Chains A and B, each alone.
Chain A
Amino acid sequence: KQEVTQIPAALSVPEGENLVLNCSFTDSAIYNLQWFRQDPGKGLTSLLLIQSSQREQTSGRLNASLDKSSGRSTLYIAASQPGDSATYLCAVRLLMDTGRRALTFGSGTRLQVQP
């Protein structure tokens, strides 16, 4: 059974810092990995999707890397802003016969960026 772990569980940084969020998964036979952002009581906003054949994806100040062999992904946020404060979730999709297996989520990292 795939298990997804995110470290740290919570993080508080001053505005302007670069930061790294970590995600690890136990089953390396993944199809892809997706990073989401969730504001309190709200839905999940997709940030980046990395296919299993890719090593990284970038969108603006965000960069996500994937090392499938070691079961790790990192989300790098450059020049953090108070508006980045949210919970960040990583989710993996297993490589299954159906190819449509749903995502397994980590517990998230709760980020607070202090102005």
Chain B
Amino acid sequence: AAGVIQSPRHLIKEKRETATLKCYPIPRHDTVYWYQQGPGQDPQFLISFYEKMQSDKGSIPDRFSAQQFSDYHSELNMSSLELGDSALYFCASSLPTGSPLHFGNGTRLTVT
């Protein structure tokens, strides 16, 4: 069965650079979520989209932005990267409310 696809798997950037993470949800899933998981921490919700519109906003810094495109894939754009942005970034998708969230394998971002 198709799963949530994230790219790239690994990304190394320097401070103050920008990064773009991509997420391709499971087909027919209409909601996409982004999470950030720091080392040894639980996943923290950043932002979600439903039918290409922003649905909920969590602890996403102003330096980050995200959008969902007409084909339902989503991109997380991160600017002015800081060392503290080094983390695993997960994307998840789901069907309408009440359905389980399915997570991708994540993008490991390292900021040096």
Q: Which residues of B contact A41 (CB under 8 A)?
A: 88, 108
- Residue in A31, A45, A91, A100 whose CB lies within 8 Å of B31: A100
For the complex formed, measure the closest distance between the CB of B40 and the CB atoms of chain A, giving whole angstroms: 9
Choose among A49, A101, A102, A108 the residue with the greatest number of B CB atoms under 10 Å from its CB.
A102
Chain A residues within CB distance 8 Å of chain B: 31-32, 34, 36, 41-46, 49, 51, 89, 91, 98-108
For the complex formed, measure the closest distance between the CB of B12 and the CB atoms of chain A, giving whole angstroms: 15
A-B contact count (CB 8 A): 60
- Residue in A44, A100, A101, A106 whose CB lies within 8 Å of B103: A44
Cross-chain contact B98 with A43 (CB below 8 angstroms): no
In the complex, the chain B residue whose C-beta lies closest to that of A32 is B98
Judged by DSSP, the binding face of A is strand
In the complex, the chain A residue whose C-beta lies closest to that of B91 is A43
**Number of chain B interface residues as a range:** 20 to 34
CA distance A36 to B42 in the complex (A): 12
Cross-chain contact B55 with A100 (CB below 8 angstroms): yes
Cross-chain contact A105 with B42 (CB below 8 angstroms): yes
Nearest 5 interchain pairs by C-beta: A99-B97, A43-B105, A44-B103, A105-B42, A102-B45
In the complex, the chain A residue whose C-beta lies closest to that of B94 is A100
For the complex formed, measure the closest distance between the CB of B8 and the CB atoms of chain A, giving whole angstroms: 14
Chain B residues within CB distance 8 Å of chain A: 31, 33, 35, 41-45, 48, 50, 55-56, 58, 88, 90, 92, 96-106, 108
For the complex formed, measure the closest distance between the CB of A24 and the CB atoms of chain B, giving whole angstroms: 14
Q: Which residues of B contact A49 (CB under 8 A)?
A: 99-100
A-B contact pairs, 24 of them (CB 8 A): A31-B97, A43-B90, A43-B104, A44-B90, A44-B92, A45-B103, A46-B100, A46-B101, A46-B102, A46-B103, A51-B98, A89-B42, A98-B55, A99-B97, A99-B98, A100-B31, A101-B56, A102-B33, A102-B48, A102-B56, A102-B58, A103-B101, A105-B43, A107-B41
